[in-house]
Structure 1
Amino acid sequence: MQLLLLFYGTVVPVNWAWHLLTRPIAPGWTLVLVLDVIVAMLAFVSVALIRQGHFRIAIKLFVGASLASLMLAYHRLGTNALLIDQVMVILTLVISGLVLGRRALWTVFGILLLVFAIGYVADANNTERSEYWARNSWRNAPGLVLSYLLIAIILDRTLTALRESLADANARRRELQQEMAERERAQAQLIHAQKLEATGRLASGVAHDFNNILDVILGFSKQRHRIGEADDLRTQASELADTLEGVEIAARRGTAITRKLLSFSRSDLLRLEVFDAGQAIAELQPMLRQLFPPDVRVAYTAADMPLPVRLDRSEFELMILNIAANARDAMPDGGRFTVTTTRLADDAIEIAMADSGHGMDERVQRRIFEPFFTTKSAADGTGLGLAVIRDLITAGGGQIDVSSAVGAGATFRIHLPLATMQVLPEEHGKSAMAL
């Protein structure tokens, strides 16, 4: 619209300038010249108003000025003004209908009929015109009115169809926006549900690990009865110290679980370090013995050389305790649980943990490392333990497999790559090992 107004405001004065340079102005047309120049100036004013955000006001100003100019020109020249003002008439119809709506279109059409009537009255009262000129003007009046009526009807139906299409498009857009909003709400609810599910699974896994730790602490606490049976106070003190040391180790394992739980919200990485897997398992022996009931014999066969691995030590220890807890559940009537560490020839180590429990069939063996698969009840297991163990071992470059048969127990074999151990200078009174 700004381009149209700029074009009109520029072309009309240029056209009049060309006209004046080629021939003199006809008598009575000076008023038309002045009116056209005024309307051209108002076209630039309308552009300025549009740029300031007053769109409808600018259009009303231009259309009103154009109609006023037509009315004065027809009053002065009669229907002779049609010789140069056809573009102005059609332009006012198009702009009013396109921008201001149907009511404005038909209002402008009615005003144009009034303008034409003023022109015909001016022709009838013009004594300089012959009677034939007046009669010829009135004969042309119906055709002229019908022509502009047809233009107005076409504009009306076209603009109505465009506005209906626009309304349908806006309705579809609102429906699409509503559907998108509903999908966003559904997605937010799904994410919330997934968060709750993940939190529940995390809580179940942590509760499972804490349950193993508490079983160890309960095993040590039950030793108080045997301590009281000893006659020698020194023996009682020694056994009490061993028991408290076991409780302390178990509590440290619980602290490690708590640290992992706190770091979960911060997305911390694993605290990788190089340590001797054989020594770590040896230090777990008191906890392993307390994890099992008295009718289960626990044996550990260690390799005769260091077995350095690079893992998160707390995760490694929880892994051993988790497999041991599964073995305990598989031997409700007692049995034997053995842990064997071996250094293989291909720069790897093997940790074999075997039990004499009820074993597993082939179907269970195929799915045992799947997340959330468990043969236990919902209160006893989450199905996350072995899946997490497999991910931990795989991240460390190793692998885990199981061999079992129904009624013949199960054996878990963990293969881990060897890491080069290097003793670093002591820091804060403690030595560390790294790659």
Structure 2
Amino acid sequence: MWNGFAHWLRSAPIADPVDRRNAPVMQVLLLFYGALLPLTWVWHAVTRGIQAGEPVVLLMDMVIAALAWVSIAMIRHGRFRPAIVLFLAPQLISMGITFFALGVQSQLLDPAPTMLTLVISGLVLGRNALWIAFGLLMLVFATGFVSDAIRATQLGVPLRRALANAPVILISYSLITIVLDRSIKALRESLAESDARGRDLQREMAERERAQAQLIHSQKMEATGRLASGLSHDFNNILDVISGYAEQRHDIPDIENRDARDAAFSKALGSVEVAAARGTALTRKLLTFSRHDMARPQVFDAVRLIAELQPMLRQLLPRNIRLDMPDPTEPLPVRIDRSEFEMMILNIAANARDAMEQGGRFGIRLEGKPDGIVEIALSDTGHGMDDDVLQHIFEPFFTTKDAVDGTGLGLAVIRDLLKTAGGNISVRSTVGEGTTFLVQLPLEPAPLPG
């Protein structure tokens, strides 16, 4: 309930931010005036009755209570300052009439109305309104002192007794007004500085958001370019295989036996078809990349698949690199995306080729461990890597190749692929002696599909 009332107080359509902050308190004050003044006079009439000279005060209080409700209505329509002026003006008029009718001495016991007039004028309407209210209050007090002087003359009381409080009141209210003026000035300056800092902060945040958006855009462009370059690097590996088979056309016409020649043609074209299928799988992944398609793991025999990759590996590696393939063993089933696994083997083989420009040996070894792990070792006799390179080899975009030859994405993608499949990859390398990548995958207990 209170939250709803507080929301209602803050919902007045006031444009000025300072007035909007003051509006809830002023509405509560006006509600008290509008409701409590009539109730106070009812209680006064029941307990003491209406005394001589009080009907004028009663009438003015009822006018003030009515104007308090009118002021609330004005605030609810966004007319904040006119509403406060409408409330203060009859207050000053009422005090002037009351002081003239009853004198200053009878009003000194309750300084709240005069003090409240000063505070509201200064804090809500500003410093100019504060000094105007101070001047009007001094006029009200002067009216009261004139009334006290007339009364003292009629009763034969010395005039100095009627005006005894005049210097104290003037000095007291002057000091209060000066303190309020200084406090209001400091408060307004603080609010202005706070608003200025707020606007500066908003501008700074907007500039930072624009800079961040530009940075993100540039990072996206860089990542997209590197991704495209990495895919094109992998695709080039496939094209190298296709080119290798295409070059065999020069050797096939030398085969005299027609059946053997046809078989060679069929084998070469079949291998080209397999390599093209690998390229199709790669381009399909590029097309589905924006749709965040997940990998499709399946169970297959790692031994059989690597044996099927042998023709492609022989075409990928130049003639001066010897290829050592594993001997047929019992099936070693694993669960991983098949096409990603093939691309992993080809990617590591392509890196080994680049590390053996003068020739060498690339070998693959498979072994089933007693702890349910399939271990695949891919070794080369290339130039190897030092410790500094080994520390960063699996980091995205880290590469020791030229920009046109590598992007540093291959090994990072392989590591993430194996982790997703529950596996791991590590590397051992010695400068001048070669490198061995050790791939480990869980041995799949489920039977292989027929």
Q: Given the two structures, how large is their TM-score scaled by the length of structure 1? A: 0.85
Correspondence for 1:226: 251
- Distance in 2 (CA, whole Å) between partners of 1:54 and 1:309 is 78
Correspondence for 1:203: 228
Check whether the contact 1:302–1:342 (CA below 8 A) recurs between aligned residues.
Answer: no
Correspondence for 1:429: none
Correspondence for 1:333: 358
The answer to whether the aligner puts 1:399 opposite 2:424 as a matched pair is yes
Check whether the contact 1:303–1:343 (CA below 8 A) recurs between aligned residues.
Answer: no
Q: How far is the alpha carbon of 1:60 from its aligned partner?
A: 1.5
Q: What pairs up with 1:323-402 in 2 under 5 angstroms?
A: 323-361=348-386, 363-365=388-390, 367-402=392-427
The answer to whether the aligner puts 1:33 opposite 2:58 as a matched pair is yes
Counterpart selection for 2:176 from 151, 155, 169: 151
Q: 1:240 to 1:7 in 2, by over 3 A?
A: same
Question: Secondary structure of the residue that 1:339 maps to in structure 2?
Answer: strand
Q: 1:302 to 1:399 in 2, by over 3 A?
A: farther
Q: How far is the alpha carbon of 1:231 from its aligned partner?
A: 4.4
- Distance in 2 (CA, whole Å) between partners of 1:173 and 1:238 is 81
Q: How far is the alpha carbon of 1:155 from its aligned partner?
A: 1.7
The answer to whether the aligner puts 1:312 opposite 2:343 as a matched pair is no
Q: 1:156 to 1:291 in 2, by over 3 A?
A: same
Q: How far is the alpha carbon of 1:205 from its aligned partner?
A: 1.9
- Distance in 2 (CA, whole Å) between partners of 1:402 and 1:36 is 93
Unaligned runs of 5+ residues in structure 2 are 1-25
The answer to whether the aligner puts 1:256 opposite 2:281 as a matched pair is yes
Counterpart selection for 1:163 from 171, 176, 188: 188
Question: Secondary structure of the residue that 1:336 maps to in structure 2?
Answer: strand
Question: Secondary structure of the residue that 2:251 maps to in structure 1?
Answer: helix
The answer to whether the aligner puts 1:298 opposite 2:323 as a matched pair is yes
Correspondence for 2:291: 266
Q: 1:76 to 1:342 in 2, by over 3 A?
A: closer
- Distance in 2 (CA, whole Å) between partners of 1:366 and 1:63 is 78
Question: Secondary structure of the residue that 1:223 maps to in structure 2?
Answer: helix
Counterpart selection for 1:98 from 105, 123, 148: 123
Check whether the contact 2:227–2:409 (CA below 8 A) recurs between aligned residues.
Answer: no
Check whether the contact 2:149–2:163 (CA below 8 A) recurs between aligned residues.
Answer: no
Check whether the contact 2:71–2:86 (CA below 8 A) recurs between aligned residues.
Answer: yes
- Bigger shift: residues 314-323 or 228-237: 228-237
Correspondence for 2:17: none
Q: 1:318 to 1:86 in 2, by over 3 A?
A: same
Percent of matched pairs sharing the same residue: 57
Check whether the contact 1:123–1:129 (CA below 8 A) recurs between aligned residues.
Answer: no
Correspondence for 1:217: 242
User: What is the aligned residue count?
Assistant: 425
Q: How far is the alpha carbon of 1:327 from its aligned partner?
A: 1.7
Deviation string, structure 1 residues 19-76 (Cα, Å, up to 9, x no partner): 4345454443321221122212322333344445443232221101212222333454
- Distance in 2 (CA, whole Å) between partners of 1:66 and 1:411 is 95
Q: How far is the alpha carbon of 1:285 from its aligned partner?
A: 1.6
Correspondence for 1:47: 72
Correspondence for 1:428: none
Correspondence for 1:411: 436
Check whether the contact 1:5–1:46 (CA below 8 A) recurs between aligned residues.
Answer: yes
Correspondence for 1:111: 136
- Distance in 2 (CA, whole Å) between partners of 1:363 and 1:76 is 99
- Distance in 2 (CA, whole Å) between partners of 1:400 and 1:33 is 94
Q: How far is the alpha carbon of 1:318 from its aligned partner?
A: 0.5
Give the AA of the match of 1:377: D
Check whether the contact 2:424–2:440 (CA below 8 A) recurs between aligned residues.
Answer: yes
Give the AA of the match of 1:34: L
- Distance in 2 (CA, whole Å) between partners of 1:172 and 1:405 is 60
Q: 1:381 to 1:229 in 2, by over 3 A?
A: same
- Distance in 1 (CA, whole Å) between partners of 2:125 and 2:278 is 79
Deviation string, structure 1 residues 120-156 (Cα, Å, up to 9, x no partner): 5556677983464666445644443333222222221
Question: Secondary structure of the residue that 2:292 maps to in structure 1?
Answer: coil
- Distance in 1 (CA, whole Å) between partners of 2:341 and 2:331 is 16
Check whether the contact 1:46–1:59 (CA below 8 A) recurs between aligned residues.
Answer: yes
Q: 1:229 to 1:101 in 2, by over 3 A?
A: same
Deviation string, structure 1 residues 219-246 (Cα, Å, up to 9, x no partner): 1221222233344554444333322222
- Distance in 2 (CA, whole Å) between partners of 1:29 and 1:361 is 103
Question: Secondary structure of the residue that 1:422 maps to in structure 2?
Answer: coil
- Distance in 1 (CA, whole Å) between partners of 2:228 and 2:43 is 89
- Distance in 2 (CA, whole Å) between partners of 1:258 and 1:4 is 74
Check whether the contact 1:303–1:342 (CA below 8 A) recurs between aligned residues.
Answer: no
Q: 1:113 to 1:215 in 2, by over 3 A?
A: same
Correspondence for 2:198: 173
- Distance in 2 (CA, whole Å) between partners of 1:400 and 1:10 is 81
Check whether the contact 2:367–2:375 (CA below 8 A) recurs between aligned residues.
Answer: yes
Deviation string, structure 1 residues 325-369 (Cα, Å, up to 9, x no partner): 112112223333333333344433332333333344455455544
Give the AA of the match of 2:338: R
Give the AA of the match of 2:193: D
Counterpart selection for 2:209 from 181, 184, 190: 184
Q: 1:127 to 1:400 in 2, by over 3 A?
A: closer
Correspondence for 2:11: none
Give the AA of the match of 1:412: F
Deviation string, structure 1 residues 146-189 (Cα, Å, up to 9, x no partner): 33222222221222222223223333333443444344344334
- Distance in 1 (CA, whole Å) between partners of 2:249 and 2:73 is 96
